[in-house]
Structure 1
Amino acid sequence: MTSALTTAEIREKYLSFFEGKGHLRLPSHSLIAPDPTTLFTVAGMQPFKPQFLGAAARFPGHEGERKRVTTAQKCLRVNDIENVGRTLRHCSLLEMLGNFSFGDYFKRDAILFAWEFLTGAEWLALDPAKLHVTIYKDDQEAFDVWTRECGLPEERILRFDADENFWPADAPAKGPNGPCGPCSEIFYDRGPDFGSDTWADYQETRESARFLEIWNLVFPQYDRQDGGVLADLPYKNIDTGMGLERIASVLQNVPDFYSNDVFLPLVTRVAELSGKPYEGVTSLSHRVIAEHVRSVSMTVADGVTLSNTGRGYVIRKILRRASRHAYLLGLREPVLHTLVGLVVERMGGAYPELRERQAEVEAAIRAEETRFLTTLESGTTRLEAILAKIEKGEMLSGTEAFTLYDTYGFPLDLTREIAEEYGVGVDEAGFDRALEEQQERARAGSKYGKSELFGDVQEALDEVARTHGATDFVGYEDLVTEGRVLAVVERGETLTRLPAGSAAQVVLDRTPFYAEGGGEVGDRGWLEWQGGRGFVRDTRKSPQGLFLHDLTVEEGELTVGASVRGVVDLPERLSTQRHHTATHLLHAALRAVLGSGVRQAGSLVSPDRLRFDFSHGATLTPEQVREVERLVNRWVQADFPVTYAYMSLDEARATGAMALFGEKYGDTVRVVSVEGGVPFQDHVVTSRELCGGAHVKRTGEIGSFVIVSEEGLAAGVRRVEALAGEAATAYVREQLTTLSDLALTLNTNPAGLAERLAGLQGQLRDLNAQVTTLRRQLTQAQMGGGAAQDVRELGGFRVASLRLTGVEASELRGAADDLLDRSGADLAVVASDRGLVVKASRDAVSRGAHAGQLVGKLAL
């Protein structure tokens, strides 16, 4: 077995191997997810979801369809972030080596490719006797390939149910509907030094430190339909993923990936900075810091900014966890940013954005670490004041520990460590109860849950949510309502008052302002109170379900507890509603005209326009665009009612309501329906979607609808931009005015523009033909009129040369052919101030003459 391969060498071998098998090598996609279903890219296949859903396999910069692709994809998975460092197998950031087939090769070739790469002498050269696999219990085809063609003994193959060897897990019984299929996982036996268990034991335990999963081959071959029906897909795909960190630990013969050539320098540097050596399993903090600094560096280099929401919230949480562990190692000054250079050194070759943005990454990490150290210091001061009042041998209450955790962002394990120094225990059971109660309150509004790692504004908002609950949104029906100020937050700090000229985020108990979500922008408008008024420039929603109004006070002073009157900007909201309902109709029309493979991939709904991204593999024809536009306008003209209802997710699906692909929904959903359909070909098209946005009450309120543009956004993803209502009318008027002005310039009327332009194009073609004829005549005149020719012996070949003047490069090739014929030479060289051409006779070519090489030398 090869043991000296670096991680970079393994990555390159993998990509080179599959290039040799006809795969197109593509660069890693950004960690920012290419679709709206996740915040981050979490799998190697994710950038290719359009192709797996049936879009044409076309990629920018590469001609034609490319149905075989290979990548080394950086992925970020944060669902079990607390396990990173605690185990030796968890990573938040990982590199997934993948090979993909979109309707090309299938199961047999995928297995044989994997076997060749793993065991081939010129590739990884793993001992075949140490490889084991699992398969889906009913996948006889995979079993036959492994045993008959790879020679794998039957006893090294385990069969598992769909919960283990099917993708998505347990799809036949539980769904979701859509593409799915069995998978086959490849394991490597690391030997008895890693455990005394046998491969047969894995059938029962499904856990092993000895048998390490290194590759998963997924075979999407079914379309899962209602009732658990598995229909064959029209064409079958391949999706495989091999964890680079895992295979590196095997090939480098190290106990875990923290000892490989990427992580070990980071772990070693942490030991040097802290003065505490790395001692393997017990050195949790060293591992957390090394892994998290790598993750944050890669993500910030991809453009994620540390913030209080979305992706920025998650990355901030990861960085604060690393900072906390640096604190536990005794590091009281910012040091994490000094590790970025090691990440760049080891990974910058494969991911050049790391080198390009190194200074920016270091600055972002340093600033955040400095802020969090201040939080830790303040929490420590409060904790020590509490501990000074507790007798040795007694317990710090779970409520006190949780208050430190929840309000001050102070970690429980740090509380435990400091309490031990005072001889005081911690009621961790009481802490767990308080934490569970808080999570239950926040769960409905928070996608990521609460963590001790995130302080600042979130701590203040958690307190507001605990006391008052989520904001009551009444803006579907009422655009003016009374409310009370619950909190004022500015730059992470809570204020009691906000004077004129100041700006901050204001939380109300009740609001008519729609918060940004589902592609729809947040409402704008005004807050009015006795003696004052302020402009709301945006509205957003916190994870706790609180509506945050970005307010600038224009008059008076706003105080917490004040009664206010919220007034939504009516014209803007009405225009936004027109565009949102039009977006639903556009979605339904696109599916009718292009087929049910169309799926939403993103949207923007604002007062002045709508933007809709969707999966589709080809440019829309002008007629398709017109047909989509006609269908939407038929709905508008029919003036159907638009209704909404709340129901369970299962009930919504039973009505045929469209849900976003991969989106997560709660038990109760809001279904927006257009109560009427429009005819298209042999059926009636309807619109019914899961949506929390604001809509018109009748389709006639949309007024008019026009598609402004249609373009490709990414591989297999298209974008339509459109206008509704007054915006559409203004756009059409502008186009008509431009048309009239153009017609006037060309001395005709709009109806005669096409004829006038056709005439001008004909004149232009005639002029071009005349110019071409004149150039040809000029060339022929020089050729036949004694233009300076030279024939001489060069390297055993007779070479004729000729210099022409005023001749275009496009004419030189014909001149070279003519010179070769006239002179009887072996090679002809024709030059002008516009270019150079060399032609060789067949005889000269057979004797080794190479016109292309000669051109290169002459051009120098």
Structure 2
Amino acid sequence: MGETERKPLSLEFFKERGFIRKKCPVCGEYFWTLDPNRELCGEAPCEPYSFIGKGLPRKFSMDEGREAFLSFMESRGHTRVSRYPVLAKWRDDLFLTSASIVDFQPYVTAGLIPPPANPLTISQPCIRLKDMDKVGPTMGRHLTIFEMMAHHAFNTPKQEIYWMNRTVELFHEYATEVLGVKDEEITYKEGFWEGGGNAGPDVEPMIAGLEVATLVFMNLKETPSGYVEMENRIVDTGYGLERIVWLSQGTPSAFEAVYERLVDVFLDRLGVRKPDQDLLESYSKLSSLMIGIEKGLKREEIRKKIARKLDMNVLDLEKEVSGLEKVFAVLDHTKAITFMLADGAVPSNVQEGYLCRLLIRRSLRILSFLEANVPLSELVALQIDHWGRSFPELKEARERILEIVDLEEDRYHKTIEKGISLISRMAKRLKKEKKGEISTDTLIELYDSHGIPPEIVSRVAADFGVSVRIPENFYEMVAARHESAQPKPPEISPYVDKVDAYPKTEFLYYEDPYQLEFKAKVLGVIDDAVILDKTAFYPEGGGQPSDIGYLTLDGERYEVTFVEKVKDRILHHVRGSDLNALKPGAVVTGAIQKERRLSLMRHHTATHVILASAKMVLGDHVWQWGAQKGEEESRLDISHYKSISKEELRRIEQIANDAVMKNMEVRTFWLPRHEAERKYGFVIYQGGLVPVTTIRIVEIDDFNVQACGGTHVQRTGEIGPIKIWRSKRIQD
């Protein structure tokens, strides 16, 4: 949104408190202040950090800072909500939870389902990889994993919770009463935020050079033609817990405040000396200049500028801080890896698995630079011990997390061995073709397709006289290609524009999956597709083939060869000698092929049973990635980090057959989406995202529960014996 389109945020709060609106001569942004003599906006690098070495009257640890915020918001009428996973399994457009509002997009923000509470407060661990290469040099301003503390209010035309004035007032009360900051020390910058399909004006509070929160007033939604006003207006705030803890303690970097003793432990294990405290504080106050990387400035030039301000030789400065910056990056990355794996990530070459592997391999590269002979799993174990006090789920997943990290480190070293040979051949060819450089696009492709880090490419290529220029933000460029999902466009039925003239079909197969005959009225025929007012024929979907059978009219049988659902209308594709007889209003008898229907029901329920059994044997990280049901055999695709052993297969099969022998009840029922997620969690989305507001749940006693639209038996005993024929691990 251009500057001319922005309106001044002339809030009553600012007017009543005597705030003055000014324009920063450095960044050109508008801000509000109580200090008539203030000229700068209060955000670094327009002015340096002034809290380093000072801090706030009250010092907070991470746990103390989190609890102080949540308790404060509870005292102001907000309901505390537990954190969501860092893997955004409820979204089909994102892999990682990058902000607290992601928890409530798109259904709550669109007003389709109610929020879990209104207003609410949460402290949400978030992962963002877009600033990966800046982690360390900016001393904690940039992180890949951070906690976004927030308070959200969802205003509708029928219910106003609070809006701009109260939002800013809540921050001001928190900053002055909880943090102990003086009124005149706070500045409020005007801005504009967008993300996840929504947007709106925002206010960014600054304290001592540090942006500690963003207060977004979400009132726009994205459309193909641009932004339009939303019916609902949403207060979307984000308070940086790590930044607030850093601000309170005034340590040279955020890492000392956030990671406490782990900083010294990592420095010792990685063999890096910590710089002199005075130098570190002086450098940290100027470290915000590193943000210039975002504007295209070279890191080397920024380092020279900082060195001049410190009256140091740039090489001496580099020697003092570069090792520390790398240790900070490893601290950050290993924490992010820990949370991703604990929440179910399986390193791979796709989706969130790719992003997890990216962090693991970047960490291993940094360890290589430091010449640290330390297994990555040892560092991850330290993270589990440290953060497991506040997040016990990390300790529960400890064994699995460490096993995965060890496997990934082994795979990484094998990848490097193979990569050296590949790069050697490529460099020889380029040299022969008199091409003396490997492009950035090729570097990214080599990393994407073969997992070869650019530093290895550069080292090997140099032996053949081929040059490589590694972008300073290389890993950010790689992550940007993978952080957002590209949903596969649904297959468009040729009938999608032809069914609107007909009412929605009544689905008898949900009322009674054992019903094999029924009578229904013909509504119309499109080509060879018959539309009825109701049907017991199940349409293809969710990996389950459609039913087949017959429609009968006046003794004439029409073979049903395929059934599909288009916009909640069921189309029965038929073969017959005279389709003209199927006129609107005619009553037909439908007959479903019994053995096929019952076999598919047994197989569908069996896949649920096997998935639950696999989770019990292999771990909670197991997730269904696909399935295909058949009459005689079915296929189930699951995520796992290594090949399944014969003994594990035997145990999975045994548990599955035990479930059959127990003859457990299989219940199907409908729940509002928010209620289903609150009751069962996001584990219900094993078959993929369900883009509806009311969800059909299939529950097998306390053994398994999933969101599913297929047909199922009523008791597990009907499945019969389950035999797992084979297991194959596909390439990552």
TM-score (norm 1): 0.43
TM-superposition CA deviations, 1:10-52 (whole Å, max 9, x none): 0110000001111111110011213222112121012223332
Conservation of the 8 A alpha-carbon contact between 1:278 and 1:286:
no
The verdict on how the C-alpha distance between 1:609 and 1:87 changes in structure 2, with shifts beyond 3 A counting, is farther
Q: For the residues of structure 2 that align with 1:581 and 1:74, how far apart are their CA atoms?
A: 44
Report the count of equivalent residues: 441
Conservation of the 8 A alpha-carbon contact between 1:2 and 1:125:
yes
Deviation at 1:344, TM superposition (A): 2.6
Structure 2 counterpart of 1:181:
200
Q: Are 1:91 and 2:166 matched, yes or no? A: no
Q: Are 1:338 and 2:378 matched, yes or no? A: yes
Structure 1 counterpart of 2:524:
638
Q: Are 1:26 and 2:81 matched, yes or no? A: yes
The verdict on how the C-alpha distance between 1:129 and 1:641 changes in structure 2, with shifts beyond 3 A counting, is farther
Q: For the residues of structure 2 that align with 1:395 and 1:734, how far apart are their CA atoms?
A: 67
The verdict on how the C-alpha distance between 1:699 and 1:371 changes in structure 2, with shifts beyond 3 A counting, is same
Structure 2 counterpart of 1:216:
214
Deviation at 1:315, TM superposition (A): 0.6
Aligned partner of 1:242 among 239, 242, 259: 239
Deviation at 1:245, TM superposition (A): 1.5
TM-score (norm 2): 0.50
Deviation at 1:328, TM superposition (A): 1.6
Deviation at 1:609, TM superposition (A): 13
The verdict on how the C-alpha distance between 1:405 and 1:215 changes in structure 2, with shifts beyond 3 A counting, is closer
The verdict on how the C-alpha distance between 1:273 and 1:226 changes in structure 2, with shifts beyond 3 A counting, is closer
Structure 2 counterpart of 1:567:
none
Structure 2 counterpart of 1:272:
268
Conservation of the 8 A alpha-carbon contact between 1:609 and 1:721:
no
Conservation of the 8 A alpha-carbon contact between 1:383 and 1:404:
no
Deviation at 1:299, TM superposition (A): 0.8
- Residue identity opposite 2:144 in structure 1: S
Structure 1 counterpart of 2:454:
412
TM-superposition CA deviations, 1:453-503 (whole Å, max 9, x none): xxxxxxxxxxxxxxxxxxxxxxxxxxxxxxxxxxxxxxxxxxxxxxxxxxx
TM-superposition CA deviations, 1:130-175 (whole Å, max 9, x none): 321112xxxxxxxxxxxxxxxxxxxxxxxxxxxx424459xxxxxx
- Residue identity opposite 2:348 in structure 1: S
Equivalent residues in 2 for 1:185-196 (5 A)? Answer: 185-189=204-208
The verdict on how the C-alpha distance between 1:340 and 1:226 changes in structure 2, with shifts beyond 3 A counting, is closer
Report the 3-state secondary structure (helix = DSSP H, G, I; strand = E; otherwise coil) of the residue aligned with 1:304. coil
Conservation of the 8 A alpha-carbon contact between 2:270 and 2:327:
no
TM-superposition CA deviations, 1:536-582 (whole Å, max 9, x none): xxxxxxxxxxxxxxxxxxxxxxxxxxxxxxxxxxxxxxxxx99x989
Conservation of the 8 A alpha-carbon contact between 1:265 and 1:342:
no
Q: For the residues of structure 1 that align with 2:376 and 2:321, how far apart are their CA atoms?
A: 21
Q: Are 1:40 and 2:96 matched, yes or no? A: yes
Q: For the residues of structure 1 that align with 2:367 and 2:217, how far apart are their CA atoms?
A: 43
Deviation at 1:126, TM superposition (A): 2.0
Structure 2 counterpart of 1:347:
387
The verdict on how the C-alpha distance between 1:226 and 1:311 changes in structure 2, with shifts beyond 3 A counting, is closer
Gaps of 5+ in 1: 60-65, 136-163, 170-175, 190-210, 450-514, 521-576, 594-607, 612-621, 623-632, 644-692, 723-729, 739-860
Q: For the residues of structure 2 that align with 1:372 and 1:288, how far apart are their CA atoms?
A: 19
The verdict on how the C-alpha distance between 1:265 and 1:78 changes in structure 2, with shifts beyond 3 A counting, is same
Equivalent residues in 2 for 1:750-761 (5 A)? Answer: none
Q: For the residues of structure 1 that align with 2:458 and 2:168, how far apart are their CA atoms?
A: 50
Deviation at 1:407, TM superposition (A): 7.0
Deviation at 1:240, TM superposition (A): 0.5
The verdict on how the C-alpha distance between 1:237 and 1:303 changes in structure 2, with shifts beyond 3 A counting, is same
Structure 1 counterpart of 2:352:
311
Equivalent residues in 2 for 1:138-537 (5 A)? Answer: 164-168=191-195, 180-189=199-208, 211-221=209-219, 231=229, 233-262=230-259, 265-279=261-275, 281-283=321-323, 284-332=325-373, 335-379=375-419, 397-398=437-438, 409-416=451-458, 427-429=467-469, 447=482, 517=488
Conservation of the 8 A alpha-carbon contact between 1:185 and 1:217:
yes
Aligned partner of 1:76 among 121, 124, 127: 127
Aligned partner of 1:700 among 548, 571, 585: 571
Whose Rg is larger?
A: 1
Tell me: higher relative CO, structure 1 or 2? Use CA pairs within 8 A at least 6 residues apart.
2
- Residue identity opposite 1:97 in structure 2: M
Structure 2 counterpart of 1:786:
none
Deviation at 1:346, TM superposition (A): 3.2
Conservation of the 8 A alpha-carbon contact between 2:59 and 2:245:
no
Deviation at 1:364, TM superposition (A): 1.0
Report the 3-state secondary structure (helix = DSSP H, G, I; strand = E; otherwise coil) of the residue aligned with 2:162. coil
Report the 3-state secondary structure (helix = DSSP H, G, I; strand = E; otherwise coil) of the residue aligned with 1:638. strand
- Residue identity opposite 2:98 in structure 1: V
The verdict on how the C-alpha distance between 1:109 and 1:326 changes in structure 2, with shifts beyond 3 A counting, is same
Q: For the residues of structure 1 that align with 2:193 and 2:487, how far apart are their CA atoms?
A: 37
TM-superposition CA deviations, 1:563-612 (whole Å, max 9, x none): xxxxxxxxxxxxxx99x9899989x989x99xxxxxxxxxxxxxx9999x
Deviation at 1:291, TM superposition (A): 1.2
Q: For the residues of structure 2 that align with 1:168 and 1:642, how far apart are their CA atoms?
A: 45
Deviation at 1:253, TM superposition (A): 0.5
- Residue identity opposite 1:28 in structure 2: R
- Residue identity opposite 1:346 in structure 2: H
Deviation at 1:318, TM superposition (A): 1.2
Conservation of the 8 A alpha-carbon contact between 1:134 and 1:165:
no
Report the 3-state secondary structure (helix = DSSP H, G, I; strand = E; otherwise coil) of the residue aligned with 1:165. strand
The verdict on how the C-alpha distance between 1:637 and 1:79 changes in structure 2, with shifts beyond 3 A counting, is farther
Gaps of 5+ in 2: 1-55, 156-160, 276-319, 512-519, 530-563, 575-589, 598-666, 678-692, 699-709, 719-732
Q: Are 1:134 and 2:189 matched, yes or no? A: yes
Report the 3-state secondary structure (helix = DSSP H, G, I; strand = E; otherwise coil) of the residue aligned with 1:714. helix
The verdict on how the C-alpha distance between 1:710 and 1:282 changes in structure 2, with shifts beyond 3 A counting, is same
Q: For the residues of structure 1 that align with 2:490 and 2:376, how far apart are their CA atoms?
A: 36
The verdict on how the C-alpha distance between 1:26 and 1:383 changes in structure 2, with shifts beyond 3 A counting, is same
Moved more, 310-319 or 47-56: 47-56
Structure 1 counterpart of 2:162:
105
Structure 2 counterpart of 1:114:
171
Conservation of the 8 A alpha-carbon contact between 1:3 and 1:253:
no
Structure 2 counterpart of 1:488:
none
Report the 3-state secondary structure (helix = DSSP H, G, I; strand = E; otherwise coil) of the residue aligned with 1:376. helix
Conservation of the 8 A alpha-carbon contact between 2:87 and 2:95:
yes
Report the 3-state secondary structure (helix = DSSP H, G, I; strand = E; otherwise coil) of the residue aligned with 1:639. strand
Deviation at 1:183, TM superposition (A): 1.0
- Residue identity opposite 1:412 in structure 2: P
The verdict on how the C-alpha distance between 1:367 and 1:215 changes in structure 2, with shifts beyond 3 A counting, is same
Report the 3-state secondary structure (helix = DSSP H, G, I; strand = E; otherwise coil) of the residue aligned with 1:52. coil
The verdict on how the C-alpha distance between 1:311 and 1:589 changes in structure 2, with shifts beyond 3 A counting, is farther
Conservation of the 8 A alpha-carbon contact between 2:219 and 2:232:
yes
Conservation of the 8 A alpha-carbon contact between 2:126 and 2:145:
yes
The verdict on how the C-alpha distance between 1:582 and 1:250 changes in structure 2, with shifts beyond 3 A counting, is same
Percent of aligned pairs with the same amino acid? 22
Q: For the residues of structure 1 that align with 2:508 and 2:465, how far apart are their CA atoms?
A: 60
Q: CA RMSD in A?
A: 5.3
Q: For the residues of structure 1 that align with 2:103 and 2:154, how far apart are their CA atoms?
A: 13
Q: For the residues of structure 1 that align with 2:248 and 2:368, how far apart are their CA atoms?
A: 34
Q: For the residues of structure 2 that align with 1:700 and 1:95, how far apart are their CA atoms?
A: 49
Q: For the residues of structure 2 that align with 1:3 and 1:275, how far apart are their CA atoms?
A: 33
TM-superposition CA deviations, 1:225-246 (whole Å, max 9, x none): 7866854x55533110011122
